[in-house]
Amino acid sequence: VCGFAHAEDTSISYIQEKGTFILGLDDSFPPMGFRDENNEIVGFDIDVSKVVAEKLGVPFFDKEVIDLAVEKSGFSREMIESAELKAKSSFAYNLASALNLSEGIGASPLSVNEKLFLAQFDVIKEISENNEGVIVGRCADYILKDMPGVTNVFIYAETEDRLKRAVEEYGDNPEKIAHTVATIDKARQNYYNYHTCQKWGDYRNYNLSINSSYITEEEAASLIAEYVERRTYRDETRDE
């Protein structure tokens, strides 16, 4: 979860005054975030984000990253949404990302995988420059790491609790959910590690890490909101 505010005001009060809360959701990480049978994004991250938005008293937009990436890149929604899932094998993904099968003098030197990543990269940058809010997943912690006022939060849970929640709360098949979660975890890790040159889940990439196995959605949301309000922000503009 990546929360950001402009350098001139890095507090929750600015978001409340502006009345806008931007939320980019990752729908490929059950039970934290995925699509149900109605194609609606659900999951723990989404539930927590809704509570945070309610605490701030502002609306949030859950399709901004995908919608804008599709509009600006020309790629289909399906390609953008499934970008991370292509990284199930680190070797195959790294190889595919290094190769460009386009031909001709005017062909782009970038692979399709790199173009898909950059499409979301550009949109996340654009959103952060024009709004204050929260983006869930999509390497936002890396993309916005040099932006003043950014708060990066990593929400995780014990594997048994993730599996139990996926089955009990969201109706996943108990016989398949362990394999599904393991496969998606691997893909997400490979995708993140390749594009950021950082290690997915490394505490050094975040300001706050929360193990959601031991607290409720309400408590997790309260922790995030209070941390953003109380933390110290370094004014990167002072040295300029």
**DSSP designation for 235:** -
Q: What digits encode the pLDDT tens for the residues 54-95?
A: 776 665 656 677 888 888 888 888 888 777 777 767 756 666
Q: Is the pLDDT of residue 238 over 50?
A: no
Supply the pLDDT for residue 106: 45
152 phi and psi angles, rounded to 5 deg: -100, 125
Residues of the chain with pLDDT > 90: what percent?
4
Supply the pLDDT for residue 6: 55
Supply the pLDDT for residue 4: 57
Supply the pLDDT for residue 97: 67
Q: What digits encode the pLDDT tens for the residues 2-50?
A: 555 555 554 566 566 655 555 545 555 566 666 666 556 677 777 887 7
26 phi and psi angles, rounded to 5 deg: -100, 115
Buried b (16+ CB within 10 A) or exposed e, 111-121: bbbbbbbebbb
Supply the pLDDT for residue 105: 41
Of 215 and 113, more confident: 215
Instruction: Output the pTM of the full model.
Output: 0.69
Of 137 and 62, more confident: 137
Supply the pLDDT for residue 240: 45
Angstrom distance (rounded) from CA 145 to CA 142: 5
Supply the pLDDT for residue 162: 87
Q: What digits encode the pLDDT tens for the residues 156-200?
A: 889 999 888 888 877 778 888 898 888 888 888 888 888 888 988
Beta partners for residue 28, in sequence order:
34
User: Is the distance from CB of 34 to CB of 177 less than 8 angstroms?
Assistant: no
Angstrom distance (rounded) from CA 221 to CA 181: 24
**Length reported for the chain:** 240
